Amino acid sequence: MGSQGGFGQSKEFLELVKSIGESRSKSEEDRIILREIETLKRRIVEPDIPKRKMKEYIIRLVYVEMLGHDASFGYIQAVKMTHDDSLLLKRTGYLAVTLFLNEDHDLIILIVNTIQKDLKSDNYLVVCAALGAVCRLINEETIPAVLPQVVELLGHQKEAVRKKAVMALHRFYQKSPSTVSHLISNFRKKLCDSDPGVMGATLCPLFDLVTVDVKSYKDLVVSFVSILKQVVERRLPKSYDYHQMPAPFIQIKLLKILGLLGNGDKHASEQMYTVLGDLMRKCDASTNIGNAILYECICCISSIYPNPKLLEAAAEVISKFLKSDNHNLKYMGIDALGRLIKLSPDAAEQHQLAVIDCLEDPDDTLKRKTFELLQKMTKSSNVEVIVDRMIDYMISINDFHYKTEIASRCVELAEQFAPSNHWFILTMNKVFEHAGDLVNIKVAHNLMRLIAEGFGEDDDTADSQLRSSAVESYLRIVTEPKLPSAFLQVICWVLGEYGTADGKYSASYITGKLCDIAEAYSSDETVKAYAITALMKIYAIEIAAGRRLDILPECQTLIEELAASHSTDLQQRAYELQAVVGLDARAIESAMPSDASCEDIEIDVTLPFLDSFVQQSLHNGAQPYIPEDERSRAIDISNFSNQGHRESSTHGLKFEAYEMPKLPVPSRPPPPVSHVSTELVSIPEPSYSRETQFSPTNPPVSSSDAELKLRLDGVQKKWGKPTYPSTSSSSSGYSSSPANGASQMESAATSTSTSRPGETYKDLKKAEVEISPEKQKLAASLFGGSTRSEKRIGTTTHRASKGGGHSTEKSSVLKPSAASTTKANIPPQPLPDLLDLGEPARLSMVAPLTDPFMQLEGLLDQKESGSSGTCAVTDGSNKEPDIVSLYSDLHMDEQSSQSTLNPLAPSESNSSNLRRTISGGLAQATKGPNLKEALEKDALVRQVGVNPTTQNPNLFKDLLG
């Protein structure tokens, strides 16, 4: 056990951790850490630091780095530590480098050699440590250096090594698919590994592969289905069970892959139907993990070729999720509903009230998910309600990231489903007004184009109506303070183009407004540029129409001011304006034709009008133009091109060892060299050498100059030093049999039934009673369509109740049978997973014994012995609410059995080291049968000096307690 022997660090380090624990502010913490950094900087460079000391320094560096400070001065020490022979130090070294370095760090190159060596180690723990580092540190450039060894390790006898090798290959695939493309078949092979852990790990790369290329993996559908079936039938070793579900994480991975494979493929999907049906039926909806699997099933069902029966089952699960009190389940339900409505659009209808509840929930996460769902449900009939809601929400939040997202969603929906031009303009105005700086500037450009081009149909009156309504609304909005830049740009542009088009507003009125904008936002050059160009357009239109030009004095001053601006762009615009104003009507007509913003400007990139000029220059002896790519090629050729080409093709680092040097006397092979330093000084080591083929003395250095090369291939050879004896005998409990396919998996598990009484949903009918009229209206407008709202209210509520009744009926049919099977199959002994006592079913299994230690604890800790309530309980010394009851919402109805929650006889506790504690008031008291440990820990802590009751009471609470 880990900590019982003391924390194993020096006093100094404990002091540091303690003072960090007691610091009251971030700045105090920073001060402490800065002081620590100074100490470490000084210490770490001292000569001859004992290794154990150095190990602690490195752990302290990790600590410093973890708290967000820079520890780069010590990275090199961590790298050095990976070279150490002792696994203890090596492991620390690897831990530190994987935490310190990103894959693009310069020091990585120093570690590659060590990793290469360690991958060949005969101690599997060393190999594991190295593989862990491979996953984190090897980058695209260094993959070739370790790839062959990693592939070799796929056949290692230890399953832990095989598993990590698979993960490492997966990582390589993610980083650079081309380097491992020839090895992909290995993943298929490993799917049949005899160890379920390796098989499970293989699912990760296969998922990625299938995502990219579905077609070439269709043949695996049968295998995946059969694996899933075996898992569901509990034929994996019991140790893979998690909260009484058989290997749930593997199930979820498989379901994800099947969802991809069955997408739009009827044949493949048909193979899955049975196992999916089984899974949905058997899955235990009372645990969190069971719900995770159910959710994944729904995702799979909605992805594959639809099957009405499964869809029905999925809808049922969704309605359970939505009706749950648990927010997490509601969230998953909303998400699942969003997937399902693609296939059955009316699936949402029976849940409309639940959806609206979620929409009005104070929980932001839930709300956002619901908006996602609404977006998927949007039709032209309900777009107005939905977008209005979204905008209201957008205005209310401050999170820029999400504001941007929801703004662009609004724009997208409005563009797609807008019922009328007028509404569209108004909506866009609102979006721009509140999130103008956040939306992509393209949206602004789209809006301008839309106003210019109209909605596509050749209806000029509609278009001009759209424009004048836009102009009108903009003139109204422009007076408001602090509009975002993008919006002002749109306003200026539209006013310039169409401000005077319908004759409602005079040119001087519009120009006045434009001047106001330029003045009010004088720091924004883009807006000013838009404004002055708009002015120019209006003057041009006026002149072209033959009206007398009347430049307002304020416009005059603006133009003059901009003509003297520091920005050349603004200056140019101002001068152009002055020039345009001086032209006559005819010239303006051709220079700036009115309403020509939509006409394409044709550009001839060959610039034909320059041809004669070019000809003339050539004639006068100028050099002909050579395009850039030809020019560089020419230079290449003129250089010694061969070399250049070769270099570029072998670009990158070379990690293979140099070739063996050729010796003048072939019968005497040179000994491999272990260190560069020993290379030059020839040290005879005859007695140590284990390599028998060596000649006792080294050949003289001068005999071959090839020997002076740095040779990496000798590094892993062992010279005198003894390496680890193979330790596998002590810990290897099982030798793996040859991979014979997944069908050979042991069927260790007995076929205990998974089903447990499903939750009852008492509030099913409640919904009908308490619906407020506003909600009904909202529901009707969301789900029914605005035009028929009155009619719909009646029918929809009716339908909702019908749906509700239907599912109650179903669940009540289901329940008794499920309950009976559970009763019959209650295992003779409670399973070790008792941490999760929040779950009602498991709670009931635990016999209400009394724990002898509990009473002892009660004596020790008087003030906490009394209370034994549930989540609401807070203990006296503790100011904060106790959130120990993690599943509080689940175990509401189990209050009665919770008063004695610490049960299990001591004999049982020996078999499982898990502590069984739960409810709030008992948190402290229930260190359970490990009382001695707890006391020791407490004593140690007091010795360390952290005072539990005053400083940091939370430290002393068990995490799971």
Partner 1 sequence: MIHFVLLVSRQGKVRLTKWYSPYSQKERTKVIRELTGLILTRGPKLCNFVEWRGYRVVYKRYASLYFCMCIDQDDNELEVLEIIHHYVETLDRYFGSVCELDLIFNFHKAYYILDELLLAGELQEPSKKIVARLIAGQDSLVEAAKEEANSISNIIAQATK
Report 172-211 residues binding partner 1 (CB under 8 A).
174, 196-197, 200-201, 204
Minimum CB–partner distance for residue 13 and partner 1 (Å): 9
Burial of 806 (0-12, 13-18, 19+ CB in 10 A): middle
Choosing from 405, 839, 864, 875, the residue that interacts with partner 1 (CB under 8 A) is 405
Which lies closer to partner 1 via its Cβ, residue 62 or residue 543? 62
Closest CB to partner 1 among residues 156, 528? 156
> Nearer Cβ to partner 1, position 129 or 483?
129
Cβ at position 99, least distance to partner 1 in Å = 7
* Cα distance between residue 395 and residue 433, in whole Å: 10
Q: Which of the stretches 13-21, 465-473, 575-583, 660-668 binds partner 1 when contact is defined by CB under 8 A?
A: 13-21
Shortest approach of partner 1 to residue 534 CB, angstroms? 37
Candidates 40-48, 237-245, 546-554, 708-716; binding stretch for partner 1 (CB under 8 A):
237-245
Q: Which residues within the stretch 257-316 sit at the binding site for partner 1 (CB under 8 A)?
A: 288-289, 291-292, 295-296, 299
Size (the chain), residues = 961
Tell me how far apart the 2 most distant CA atoms of the chain are, in Å: 111
CB of 277 to partner 1, least distance (A): 20
Query: Is residue 484 involved in binding partner 1 (CB under 8 A)?
Result: no
CA torsion through residues 514, 517, 520, 523, sign: negative
| Contact between residue 189 and residue 202 where contact means Cβ atoms under 8 Å apart | no
- Rounded to the nearest whole angstrom, what is the least distance from the CB of residue 769 to partner 1 in the complex? 23
875, 947 contact by CB (below 8 A)? no
Contact between 903 and 920 (Cβ < 8 Å): no
Residue among 279, 915, 918, 919 that touches partner 1 (CB under 8 A): 915
- What sign results for the dihedral spanned by CA atoms 173, 177, 180, 181? positive
Q: In angstroms, rounded to a whole number, what is the distance separating the alpha carbons of residues 21 and 951?
A: 9
Nearer to partner 1, 10 or 572 (CB): 10
How far apart CA 334 and CA 322 sit, in angstroms, is 7
| Segment contacting partner 1 by CB under 8 A, of 542-550, 558-566, 653-661, 728-736 | 728-736
Residue with tokens 């014979």: 740
Distance, in Å, from the CA atom of 260 to the CA atom of 293, rounded to the nearest integer, reads: 16
Query: Based on CB atoms, which residue is closest to partner 1, 218 or 327?
Result: 327
Q: Does 513 bind partner 1 (CB under 8 A)?
A: no
Residues 6+ apart with CB under 8 A from 379: 417, 785
Paired tokens of 746: 């042991």
CA distances from 790 to 546, 773, 786, 794, 802 (A): 56, 12, 9, 8, 19
CA distance 33 to 65: 10
Residue 682 CB, nearest approach to partner 1 (Å)? 31
Is the dihedral angle over the CA atoms 701, 703, 704, 705 positive or is it negative?
Answer: positive
For the CB of residue 279, give the shortest distance to partner 1 in the complex, in Å: 15
Counting residues that bind partner 1 (by CB under 8 A) gives 118
Q: Check binding of 86 to partner 1 (CB under 8 A).
A: yes
Report the residue from 39, 179, 188, 237 that binds partner 1 according to the rule CB under 8 A. Answer: 237
Among the listed residues 12, 38, 104, 893, the single contact to partner 1 using CB under 8 A: 104
Q: Does 368 bind partner 1 (CB under 8 A)?
A: yes
Q: What are phi and psi of 767, to 5 degrees?
A: -55, -40
**Closest among 850, 819, 845 to 832, alpha carbons compared:** 845
Restricting to residues 595-654, which ones interact with partner 1 according to CB under 8 A?
none
Q: How far is the CB of 175 from partner 1 (least distance, A)?
A: 10
Question: Is 564 near partner 1 (CB under 8 A)?
Answer: no
Among 103, 140, 278, 516, binds partner 1 (CB under 8 A): 103
Q: Which residue has the tokens 């389940």?
A: 329
57 touches 74 (CB < 8 A): yes
Looking at 10, 15, 53, 59, which residue binds partner 1 (CB under 8 A)?
59
Q: Which of residues 123-152 bind partner 1 (CB under 8 A)?
A: 125, 128, 132, 135-136
- Interface pattern 872-891 for partner 1 (x via CB under 8 A): --------xx-xx-x-xx--
Hey, what are 767's tokens? 């919904």
Q: How far is the CB of 236 from partner 1 (least distance, A)?
A: 9
Pick the closer one to partner 1 by CB: 89 or 315.
Answer: 89
Burial of residue 188 (CB within 10 Å: 0-12, 13-18, 19+) is: middle
Q: What's the number of CA atoms in the CB half-sphere (13 Å) around residue 737?
A: 9
Nearest to 382 by CA among 340, 359, 416, 353: 416
Cα–Cα dist 440/32, whole Å: 44
Binding mask 309-338 for partner 1 (x = CB under 8 A): ------------------xx-xxx------
Is residue 851 helix, strand or coil?
A: coil
Residue 242, phi then psi, degrees to nearest 5 = -135, 120
Site membership for partner 1, residue 160 (CB under 8 A):
yes
Q: Show contacts with partner 1 in window 925-954 (CB under 8 A).
A: 927-928, 930, 933-934, 937, 941, 946, 954
For the CB of residue 213, give the shortest distance to partner 1 in the complex, in Å.
18
Distance CA 693, CA 696 (A): 9
Is position 70 an interface residue for partner 1 (rule: CB under 8 A)? yes
Q: Is 914 near partner 1 (CB under 8 A)?
A: yes
**Which of 14, 146, 147, 418 is close enough to bind partner 1 by CB under 8 A?**
14
Angle between helices 196-212 and 184-191 in degrees, nearest 10: 140
DSSP state of 717: S
Closest distance to partner 1 from the beta carbon of 282 (Å): 17
Strand, coil or helix: what is 263? strand
Least gap, CB of 476 to partner 1 (angstroms) = 35
Establish if 861 lies at the interface with partner 1 (CB under 8 A).
no
Exactly one of 1, 683, 710, 824 binds partner 1 (CB under 8 A); that residue is 1
* Cβ(153)–Cβ(123) below 8 Å: no
**Which residue of 15, 433, 679, 958 would you call a contact of partner 1, by CB under 8 A?**
958
Side chain identity, residue 664 = P
The Cα–Cα gap between 431 and 439 comes to 9
Options 157, 239, 850, 911; binder of partner 1; rule CB under 8 A? 239
Closest distance of CB 250 from partner 1, Å: 6
| Start-to-end C-alpha separation, the chain | 19
Shorter beta-carbon distance to partner 1: residue 17 or 706:
17
Report the residue number, 249 or 655, with the smaller CB distance to partner 1.
249
CB of 591 closer than 8 Å to CB of 539:
no
Q: In the complex, what is the shortest distance from the CB of residue 822 to partner 1, in angstroms, rounded to a whole number?
A: 22
Q: Say whether residue 836 binds partner 1 (CB under 8 A).
A: yes
Q: Of 160 and 552, which has the nearer Cβ to partner 1? A: 160
